Structures are given as C-alpha cells and as structure tokens.
Structure 1
Amino acid sequence: MSTSATSSVASPVAQQQRVAVLGGGPGGYEAALVAAQLGADVTVVERDGLGGSTVLTDVVPSKTLIATAELMATVGGATELGVRFPGGPTSDTEPAGAVSVDLGRVHQRVKSLAFAQSTDIRARLEKEGVKVLNGSGRLDGPQALVVTDGEDAGARVEADVVLLSTGSRPRTLPDAQPDGERILTWKQVYDVEELPEHLVVVGSGVTGAEFASAYDALGAHVTLVSSRDRVLPGEDADAAEVLEEVFRRRGMNVVSRSRAESVVRHGDSVVVTLSDGRTVEGSHCLVAVGSVPNTQDIGLQEAGVWTSESGHVDVDKVSRTSARGVYAAGDCTGVFPLASVAAMQGRIAMWHALGDTVAPLKLRSVASTVFTSPEIATVGWTQAQIDSGEAQGEIVKLPLSTNARAKMLGIHDGFVKLFCRTGSGTVIGGVVVAPRASELIFPVTLAVEKRLNVDDVAHAFSVYPSLSGSLAEAARQLHVMAD
C-alpha cells in the first residue's frame, strides 16, 4: 500500500466512488484525505468548523491553556533551582507573586490558535479536492446526506460510502444547567475573561482533572468534587495517587466520595450542593461529568444504523456500522474518546471501503495521556488487569526521585512503570508519570506495537542523564524477572 502524499496513482475502483462525510473532526477530515488520495469524489458536511470540537472547543484549546498553566507551574518551582524574579520572593519561605496570568489574553490566544488550525485543515482539504458544505446534516437512507441548515441548507449529497463522524457534546446535570458565565462546560471556559477566584470542578475524570490542574497552576483556588474514592478512577491507581497527592500539596481542595446534586448561581457566586447535604461555594463552577454522542435526529434508525443504549453508533474493527456502506468514527462510536483513535478509525474506514490494504483497529497499542501536572501517560495492558489475572505479566516501577536528570530539573513526583509478559519478556504495557509523559511514553508504545522483548529495550542506548533512562533501567530489571 502506498500512503505517500505525493502519490498520483489511485485505485480504478476508488475513482468511481462517491464518499460523503458527516462531521469534520479528526475522524471526518482524516477519512476525507484518505478517500481523496484513493481517487474518490469526497464531500464533507460540517456545522461548526473543520477540526470539529477537537480543534475548536476541546483538545487544541484545552492543551493550549494547559501549556500556559505548565509554564506557570515551572516558574513557580524556579526558586528551588536558584532562579529569582524582579519583584518576586528573595527566599524560599516568602510567598510567590512575581508572575501572574492575564486570562483574557490567554483565551484570546487559545481561540486564535484553534481558528488557525481549523483554517489550515480547510485549506488542506480544498487542496486535495474535497468539497466542504457548511451546515448540519442527516442521513437520507444509507446512501445520501442532506444538509438541514446553515449556509448550504437543502443540499443533498448522494454517496456510495458514508462516514459518520459527528462527535459528542458535554454531558450536563438536570440541576446544574450551564449559563456560560458562572456555570460552565469545558466548551465555555474560554469566554471567561478574569481568572476565577474559586473554581469548583465537578467531576474528577480526565477532563475535570486536567482543568483543575490547569486553573490551580494559573493561580485560582480550586475545589475538585469527585464522586469516587480517588481522582481519575479510570487510570492507573499508582498514578492517580501521585496526582491527588500533588493536588493536595499545592493547596487544592479535593472532595472525595461526594456526588454533586445541583449547582445554583447566586449573583457572582455559585453553590454546589452535594448528595450528603454539604455545600461548596465558589465564584465559578465547571461541570465535567462526561459526554453524550451527537447521534440524535440524524436519520440513523431510518438508515438501519444500530446504536447502543448510550446512543453510540455500533461499529466493528474496520469502522463498519450495521448499514451497508455506512461507516462511523470518533466519539460518536464510543470506542475510545481520543483524537488519535478517531483519526485512525476514519482512515481505516476509507481504506476498507475503497479496497485498499487495511488492518483492523488495535486498541491495545493506543497511548493516551492525561495532561495534568505531572502528566500521566499509559499504553497497553494495565496493572489492574495483571493483578486480576486477566493478563500474565511482571511489573517494575521506578520512582523518578532517584533519576539524575529528574533531580537536576527539580522533579520530585512521578515514576515509570513497565510491564512484560511472564516467561517471554515481551513488553505489554507501561505507565509514565512525569512532566512531558506524553513524549516519554512513545518508546513504550513502539515496544508494545512491535512486540519487543525487554532485552531489546534494555540493550538500546539511552542518554545519560535523561528521564528516558529510567525506562531502560526498568527493562534491565525485568530481564532478571523474566528469566
């Protein structure tokens, strides 16, 4: 299979195919690019802007905000490295205060970058000959899309292949309805001009933890309300424990085992009422309690597309739905709510639909990151699965506190954890908790994807001093255990 962007050779079958894509997020626009490369006539219908919520209101904006927060956190620890700022503290016992954030400018930059990324995606699609229609759309049977509103309302797109990539939206609580000013979803935070004095974050999953970490670093007082016994209940338990420890040490108020029943605004404040009757008062509240797929009223049932009880589109490992010729990708499928997975689902769908070489989606080698401070990155099998006997594996965990580079950088929290198959020593997973864990997880992902042995990892040279050196050390220790 040729995947070169400069290839001009298209499949003779694909040249005659018409592809319609509903939704211009990562799953949609990546599918469109693959289909165009294979010679199809491609039309994308998008309501809000190319890139979808990933680019406009979710991943790109939140990670841009987090980048500023990360810099603030780094500056906050600079005194330990001997750095002093004009007007700042002159000793470790004095309060910080030399650096502050202009949230209005931060959000202006967030929106500017999101718009620029969306514009770049549109330009790339147009360069490849993809037609873009602006507006909402719905299926009209399994082989057509109709634009129901917006600039191109009334347009009808006949297709041999349809891809649904409609994404998701923030879930809200019946008694915690967002107003866009004091009670917010993660799509609305970028309209707040002043740093919240006291932000109450409801929900301690990935989104809640990321925003709690970011606003804490930016200087807001943060209360994180978790309905579970710890933050990040779906992540590695050791990693979650480190993060919660860091949160509490930095002054964040973490309220565990407490479900929010309601959020009510009173002028310039909000009151969050918990299920046990306690209340938390703050200046703003961010509701981060999951998401809902955008699959309502888009003609799924009429077209024969099955959905789960949660409303997610049922797909197989090559992104096919129950309706012939209809595929789906991204958050609307509920497979794995990551932009990288959505993009791969979209590509796989087009490779399969248009007769190119394709391999089914493999979730076991998908790396994911929680962009808190420190970051948490994981790939492959988990320790919980090994502990339960679902997977047979050996585990080595090394704290970063003993790593020479970590000491130089003033890093006190975090670890690397590597898992290998019992007996064979094949790397089956890992966890990294550290600054830039999203980068450090890549060699582990390669090892999992290519089924490398711990000896393969151990025998590769690592830079000294480096944080990645701890991965090599973990592999060396697993060699002994694997024997």
Structure 2
Amino acid sequence: MAKTTKAVQYDFDAIIIGTGPGGEGAAMNLAKSGKRVAVIERYEKVGGGCTHWGTIPSKALRHSVSRFIEYKENPLFQMDDQSSNLTFPQILKHAAGVIRKQVQLRGSFYERNRVKVIAGIASFVDANRLRIQTPDAPDQIISAEHIVLATGSRPYRPDNVDFSHPRIFDSDTILSLQDDPRHIIIFGAGVIGCEYASIFRGLGVRVDLVNTRDRLLAFMDTEISDALSYHFWNSGVTIRHGEEFDHIEGCDDGVILHLQSGKKMKADCILFANGRTGNTDLLNLSAVGLIADRRGQLKVNENYQTEVPNIYAVGDVIGYPSLASAAYDQGRIAGNSIIHGHCDTRLIDDIPVGIYTIPEMSSVGKNEQELTSARIPYEVGRAQFKHLARAQIANTSVGSLKILFHRDTKEILGIHCFGERAAEIVHIGQAIMMQKNGGNTIEYFVHTTFNYPTMAEAYRVAAMNGLNRLF
C-alpha cells in the first residue's frame, strides 16, 4: 500500500507582522476569504507607524495649522484680536484625538473579521514558525503556512547623531516636543521635511530647511515644486540647497548644525528628516535565508513574494513607492496571491502622490520633464485658483491646476496641482485618465457641467486654456 503523508498542521493559515496599511490590507483580504489569520503588533495598539507617528498625526497637525492660517488671513476676522497664537503642544492634542479614533476604527476591523491580534515582537524560527516576545510573559512559538511582512519603516538615524539629546528629534520623536521653539532647523527637504517646515512656519516659528539636493522634491513637476519653493521663501522659510551635514552639536540652550561646506547654523532644536529605514532588524531574517539591503528593505516579485516562496513583504519594508495608499493595495494583492496561488492584479501605473505642505501639492501621471525626455508632443492647460469664485469666497486663492495632454490625441497625460485641497482635486483628473476606449481626453472637461462655484471648475478653465493653445 502507498504510504500517505500527513498534512502539516499550522496554527494559522497566514500570519501578518505589522498592522499598518499593508498589514491591514493583507489581513482583511485573507480573513474575508475564510482564512485563519493572526496579526502581530509590537506596540500596544494597532495602526502601525502610519497611524501613530507618520501619516495621520502629521496631517492632523497640518490641518490645525492650515485652519489657523486661514482664520488669521480671513478679512471677516480682521477686526478681532490677532495677537493669539497656536503652540505645538496645543495642536498635538488635536492629533491625539484623531489617532484615538483611528485606532478604535482599525481595531474594530480585526475584531469584526475574527483576526487574532497578538502583541509582541516577532522573529523567525524558520520559514513557517515565529517566536513572539513580550515583556511580561514567556516567549511563544506560533506557525502559519504563509507569513506577510508589513513591518513598515522608521526614521533613518546616522550613528554620529545623538538622538538621545533633548533638542535633537526625528520625525517620530518630534511628536513628543513639549516646548514651543522660536527657531528650528529641519535637515532633509523631502516630503516629511517640507511638511514639517510648513507646520512650524505656520505656527510662527523661524525655519531653516536644509536640502541635500539642488531643488525641493525633484520627483515632482518642476513648476509645482518651484511654486512650493517660492511660497516657502515668501513666508520666511530659509532654504539651503546642496548641503550635507558634518555633525550636530547638542548644547544646553540649543543645537548647532555643522555642514560639510563649513557653514554653521544654530537653533533651539533640530528635526533630522533625511530618509527612512525598513524595520527588518529584529526579524532574525538569517533564520530563513533572507537578506535586507543597507536601508533594511527586502526584494519581492510582482506578487510581493520574497525569495522564500511562502514569505511575502509589502509596504515601506520593500521601498518605493512608500505610500500608505499603495501599501494597502500591496497587502490586498499579496493576500490574493496567497488565496489563489498567484495574482494578476497590479498596482496602477499612475499612482497619485499627495504632499501635505501648506498649500498642498499633488500629482498623477507624467510631468513635463518626463514627457520632454520621451519626446511626446504635449500641450499644457492651466487654471489659476485666484480666478475661481469658490477660491475667492474661501480666501484660498494661492495655487493652480495644470493639465498635460497629447497634442494630437488630446489624451490626458498628467495632472499637477498646487493649492488648498490639491490632494482631493487631483482625483477628478485621475478618474478621467483611467477611462478606456477613447474616454480619456481633455475635451471631457469642456463638455461636462460642473457645480458652480467649486474648485472643480479649475478643470474646465484649464482644459479650455490648453485647447486654445492648439493650432
């Protein structure tokens, strides 16, 4: 008689390490497909870095400051006492309230879908088993057929910077700032650095923004990033381009930033926001033969499988695009791959980017530099917010919308927006860009009817402006 092989019995069908957007996307997809799922969270509450230190708190802070700026600049309130000011600790209270609501909501998702939430630090024993360490209990070993790494990332911390100094912060620890600084240095002018530059300048803090590159946010359309540079300059932010730090000197009364160019800068505190590192250092990857790169990131295939077939990775831990929105979709795709053995779904080609400076920046599709390099004949349609009735009513007239479209086919190739609500406005253009069978043309915005007055009207204005350039 043939010898039968006994199936391996696992505690779970899948274990997800991390409860940020990527982990949540994978867990929900798997649970709704009837899989036995557990998630492991090293911190006290679910939500990951996105909810507790990254996307949610920084955007909540930005919203408070933006509304305060609107209040101060609105003519309706000019007769009131304008001497009052917000402090950083005050706006942190609002952010804390938003975080609480998000944690409750996300926690309810796991409970409702019967996903077991395990608190502790996970590390590999082998490809199917994980050791869970908790401070107040013995280690436990749990197993699963599939494991998804959604451990996220943390701020990059160079070895020669003393982050234990009370005046030296990264983008996580800045949320513990108790004082209201008069002057802050922000080293690193990427998305995080620019967003916090907006927040602190909006609070009336003197800001020095140090950029290691020759222009702000070089991946954005040049005109849009130049608009932010001008807005920063006009609001009093000092930007130093092309600088690298040599060392940071912490003092009792402040910090001194020593740059490789020989310059010295002193401020009350410094926010070091120059890059991020994947959270893989505690996973004991060597036990399964995986190796992270120098920034703690892992390589995956189109289904988000690592080099170990039953181990997947999604979100910041795999690098680009490092967006919460994309991480959730990556988690769902990884879940589908586990459920069906493969997944033909991919992230969309044109992933929208929202940068929550004051004003906001957002884009989807190609920028002018990319289209020029590819020798694609394009034209530009523009609308300035100051000409829109809704912007005049709301006193949010700073900003513009730019539509890039093919001169011959009139196909929309890119949408770029600078101004209040830019991250919302760009999705109108994205919806048309995604249309098939000839539905994606700039003429849609001319022939449709918009509510009046709205910011969406900018699309009609920009479309007519662009079509008028054709000959």
TM-score, reference length from structure 2:
0.91
Aligned counterparts of 1:401 and 1:125: Cα–Cα separation in 2: 45
CA distance in 1, matches of 2:127, 2:443: 51
Decide whether the 8 Å contact of 2:276 with 2:295 is kept in 1: no
- Name 1:3's counterpart in structure 2: none
* 1:278/1:194 CA distance change after superposition, 3 Å: same
Q: Is 1:51 matched with 2:36? A: no
| Cα shift at 1:165 | 0.3
Which position in structure 2 is the counterpart of 1:25? 20
SS of residue paired to 1:387: helix
Aligned CA distance change for structure 1 residues 429 and 440 (closer, same or farther; 3 Å): same
Query: Aligned letter for 2:401?
Result: V
SS in 1 for 2:118: strand
Q: Secondary structure at the match of 1:364?
A: coil
**How far off is 1:164 after superposition?**
0.5
Q: Structure 1 residues 152 and 478, CA, compared in 2 at 3 Å: closer, same or farther?
A: farther
Question: Aligned-residue CA RMSD in angstroms?
Answer: 2.4
Which of 191, 201, 215 aligns to 2:186? It is 201
Contact kept? 1:205, 1:234, Cα under 8 Å: no
| C-alpha contact 1:395 1:418 (8 A) present in aligned 2 | yes
- Indicate the residue corresponding to 2:326 in structure 1: 341
Inter-partner Cα distance in structure 2 for 1:393 and 1:313: 38
Which digits, 9 at most, give the CA deviation of each residue in 1:280-336, with x for residues without a partner? 110010001010111224133432445445431112232222211211110001021
SS in structure 1 at match of 2:326:
helix
Tell me the CA shift for residue 219 of structure 1.
1.6
Provide closer, same or farther for how the CA distance between residues 41 and 256 of structure 1 changes in structure 2, counting only shifts above 3 A: same
Q: State the alpha-carbon separation in 1 of the partners of residues 140 and 303 from structure 2.
A: 29
Residue 435 of structure 2 corresponds to residue 450 of structure 1: yes
Question: What CA distance in whole angstroms lies between the structure 2 residues aligned with 1:110 and 1:379?
Answer: 28
Shift of 1:205: 0.7
User: Separation in 2 of the partners of 1:66 and 1:163?
Assistant: 32
Q: Which residue of 2 aligns with 1:11?
A: none
Kindly indicate whether the alpha-carbon contact (under 8 Å) linking 1:42 and 1:130 is maintained by their aligned counterparts in 2: yes
Q: Distance in 1 between matches of 2:310 and 2:352?
A: 30
Change (3 A) 1:152 1:244: farther
Return the letter of the residue paired with 2:248: V
User: 1:8 maps to what in 2?
Assistant: none
Q: Distance between the aligned counterparts of 2:302 and 2:409, measured in 1?
A: 28
Counterparts of 1:16 and 1:298, CA distance in 2: 19
Q: Which residue of 1 aligns with 2:6?
A: none
More off after superposition, 293-302 vs 205-214 = 293-302
Query: Shift of the alpha carbon at 1:460?
Result: 2.1
Q: How does 1:181-200 map to 2 (within 5 A)?
A: 181-200=166-185
Q: Is the Cα contact below 8 Å between 2:216 and 2:225 reproduced in 1?
A: yes
Instruction: Show the counterpart of 1:378.
Output: 363
C-alpha contact (below 8 Å) 1:43/1:157 kept by paired residues: no
For 2:453, the equivalent position in structure 1 comes to: 465
**Any conservation in 2 of the 1:134–1:151 contact (CA below 8 Å)?**
no
Deviations 1:406-435 (Å, cap 9, x if unpaired)? 333333432111122443222222111010
Which residues of structure 2 form unaligned runs of 5+?
Answer: 1-9
Corresponding residue for residue 414 of structure 1? 399
CA gap 1:447/1:168 in 2 versus in 1, 3 angstroms: same
1:399, CA displacement in angstroms? 2.7
Alignment partners' CA distance in 2, 1:151 and 1:351: 36
Q: How do 1:44-123 residues align onto structure 2 when only pairs under 5 Å count?
A: 44-48=39-43, 49-78=45-74, 81-88=75-82, 97=83, 99-123=84-108
Aligned to 1:303: 288
Q: Hey, what's the Cα distance between the residues in 1 that align with 2:129 and 2:378?
A: 49
Q: Return 5+ residue gaps in structure 1 as ranges.
A: 1-14, 89-96
Counterpart in the other structure of 1:257: 242
Deviation at 1:376, TM superposition (A): 0.2
Q: Give the whole-Å Cα distance in 1 for the aligned partners of 2:368 and 2:135.
A: 48
Using structure 1 for the length normalisation, give the TM-score.
Answer: 0.89
> Structure 1 vs Structure 2: percent identity of aligned residues?
23
**Whole-angstrom distance in 2 between the partners of 1:282 and 1:417:** 38
Contact 2:11 2:143 in 1 (8 A): no
Q: Secondary structure at the match of 1:214?
A: helix
404-413 or 57-66: which moved more? Answer: 404-413
Q: CA deviation at 1:143?
A: 2.0
Question: 2:416 corresponds to which residue?
Answer: 431
